């Protein structure tokens, strides 16, 4: 069964008087449990495709179905709720809240759910432990290394048990070894928790870990290798 169905999606940005076609008719289905890499040179539309699947922006044409639901029809608030319950995000620049500790950062998505303080704390601690940062719970992001920050971000992305985790260039700001480690961690979560993961990268070595590679070029799918 497919978790993600993207149908003939186009996305046009208007910058000044110029129109930029970021996606020119992309169709893609992703099955539950996939570990999918979107690859391609910069400007090929990787981020735009991830944003559309992540309900962070809407398509100019075409539809996006997530878990059987047509998300292009949802209101802003409904999309926010949908993201809170079904999606997890990992960013290139980690995007942790600098004023919160590692544990509080991981707790953040749980506030959308009706949980007690204790339960929230327990789940966040568990997620931190899972990424090997139990001892760093009280540290602020500034006190952590890049790899540690990304591991906190991973814990934050999976703590609410989303069906789908989206990661835009998760290793681009890390050295090779750390990037490998982050990818292995994401893969482990994918396998253990059956969380579907879609990530973008332009790193040849990183994409080898994917179960499926979709190549984008100039806003269209150029290759799709399972």
Partner 1 sequence: MTLLLAVRNVFRHRTRSLITLAAIAIGGASVIFVGGFFENMFFKMRESYIKGHTGHIQVYRAGFLEKGSSRPFDYLIENPQEIVPLIREIPGVIRVTQRLQFSGMISTGDNTVSCLVQGVEPLYEPSIRQSDAQNPREDLAEVGGAVIEAGDPLDEGHPYGTILGRGLAAGLDAKVGDALVLVANTVSGAINAFDISVQGIFFTSAKVFDDHVLRMPLDTAQQLLYTNAVQTLVIMLERTEDTPRITRQLQARFRERGLPLEVKTWEEINDFYTKTRELFDRMYVILKFVIALIVILSIYNTMTMAVMERTNEIGTMMALGTKRSGVLRLFIVEGVVLGVIGGMLGVLLGSAVTSIVGSIGITMPPAPGSSITWLSKPMVVPSVLAFAFLLSLVTAVVSSAYPAYRASRLEIAEALRHV
Number of residues this chain uses to bind partner 1 (CB under 8 A): 26
CB of 186 to partner 1, least distance (A): 18
Structure tokens at 122: 């327990």
Cβ atoms < 10 Å from Cβ of 176: 11
Show the site string, 66-105: x = touches partner 1 by CB under 8 A, - = not: ----------xx--xx-xxx---x-x-x-x-xxxx---x-
Establish if 222 lies at the interface with partner 1 (CB under 8 A).
Answer: no
Structure tokens at 83: 């993201």
CB of 51 to partner 1, least distance (A): 5
Strand order in the sheet with 2-15: 18-31, 2-15, 61-66, 69-70
Out of 61, 111, 145, 225, the only residue in the binding site for partner 1 (CB under 8 A) is 111
Strand order in the sheet with 220-225: 87-90, 164-168, 196-201, 35-39, 212-217, 220-225
Establish if 143 lies at the interface with partner 1 (CB under 8 A).
Answer: no
Structure tokens at 203: 């790193």
Angle at 178 between CA 148 and CA 174, to 5 degrees: 85
* C-beta of 31 vs 62, nearer to partner 1: 62
* Whole-angstrom distance, CA of residue 95 vs CA of residue 104: 14
| Positions 146 through 175 that interact with partner 1 (CB under 8 A) | 156
Query: Where along the sequence are the contacts to partner 1 (CB under 8 A)?
Result: 51, 54, 56-57, 76-77, 80-81, 83-85, 89, 91, 93, 95, 97-100, 104, 107-109, 111-112, 156
């Amino acid at each position: 069964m497919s978790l993600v169905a993207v149908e003939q999606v186009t996305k046009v940005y208007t910058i000044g008087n110029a129109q930029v076609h970021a996606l020119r008719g992309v169709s893609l289905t992703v099955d539950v449990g996939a570990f999918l890499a979107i690859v391609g040179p910069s400007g090929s539309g990787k981020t735009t495709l991830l944003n559309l699947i992540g309900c962070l922006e809407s398509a100019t044409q075409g539809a996006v179905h997530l878990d059987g639901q047509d998300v292009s029809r949802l209101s802003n608030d409904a999309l926010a709720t949908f993201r809170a319950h079904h999606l997890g995000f990992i960013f290139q620049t980690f995007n942790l809240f600098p004023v919160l500790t590692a544990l509080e950062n991981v707790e953040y998505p749980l506030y959308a759910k009706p949980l007690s303080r204790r339960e929230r704390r327990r789940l966040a601690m568990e997620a931190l432990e899972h990424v090997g940062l139990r001892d760093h719970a009280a540290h602020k992001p500034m006190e952590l290394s890049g790899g540690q920050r990304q591991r906190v971000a991973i814990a934050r992305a999976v703590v609410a048990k989303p069906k789908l985790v989206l990661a835009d260039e998760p290793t681009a700001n890390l050295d090779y070894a750390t990037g490998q480690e982050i990818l292995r961690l994401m893969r482990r979560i994918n396998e253990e928790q059956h969380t579907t993961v879609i990530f973008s990268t332009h790193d040849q070595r990183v994409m080898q870990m994917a179960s499926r590679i979709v190549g984008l070029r100039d806003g269209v799918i150029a290759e799709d290798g399972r």
